[in-house]
Every structure is written in structure tokens, then in C-alpha cells.
Amino acid sequence: YLAALLQNNRPRAAAIITDFHKPEGNYPDSIMLRLAKLLVLEDEQAALSELYKVVMDVELSPVIGLALAHIASELGDPEFALENLRKFIREDSKMAIWHPTHKNVRQLPAFKNYLRELGMVDYWRTTGKWADLCHPVGDDDFECE
């Protein structure tokens, strides 16, 4: 699914979700199928409107929340994606912020604040070992790709 998004192949990503989550009416599958349909809508504004409704309609699990964040990035709403990454990311899924789909998220000032809150920037500055996608800019700032 994520590889298909990286290749900008939304129909393939939607098909992968649909194949994996059979429509049997249970909670995660029905939500994932709703999300899959958004990837193939031609009108991105309509897709984003529907994405916001998904969040309002149900209580989301961390897995669904992270999928929602990936789709929000793909549809062009990095702020909404970051909001959901922050909300649903767990210790074992923090690598999600570095996924190429979230390049637009990493450009946000709020993303930089998030990394500071996590203590990553202090660690990088102390050790000199910066993440592959981030580098220092002067003594007090940094940027990420």
C-alpha cells in the first residue's frame, strides 16, 4: 500500500487496501474501505471533506489513524496528517513520520516543534548524529526534507 503511494499509484494503493480488508461490515475493514475509496476520487477537495467525516464518524484505532494520516498527506493536507500522526503514533510506530509520503509534513513548523518535544533535536545536537532527512541550520535551527 505505502509502496504504491510512493509510486503515485493511488488506484493500486486503493486496490491493495480493498483486497486486504474484505467488506464484512466489521469496524476496521469498513473504515479502511472508506479510506481506500478516497484515494481514487478525482476531486481532492471532495476526498478531503470525506476524510474529515471519517474522523468525525467513528473512534479510530492507532492503525486506522496512521492510515488516515498517510492518506491526508497524499491528498495534500499536511497539517491534518501531522495532527493524526501525533495523535496515533506509538513508540513502535514512530518511524511513520519519516515515510516519504510525509515529506510535506516535515516542512511544517509544527513538525519541527514535534521533534523538539520528542527530544530528538537535543539528541542530534548533543551527539552530532542527525537523522538522514534532517540537518542543522546555524546554531539554533534545523530543517528536514
pLDDT digits (tens, 9 = 90+) for 66-117: 888 988 998 899 999 999 899 888 776 778 899 888 999 999 999 999 999 9
Helix axes 44-57, 78-88, angle to 10 degrees: 30
Q: Coil, helix or strand for 77?
A: coil
How far apart CA 127 and CA 123 sit, in angstroms, is 6
In this prediction the pTM is: 0.76
Strand partners, 144: 134
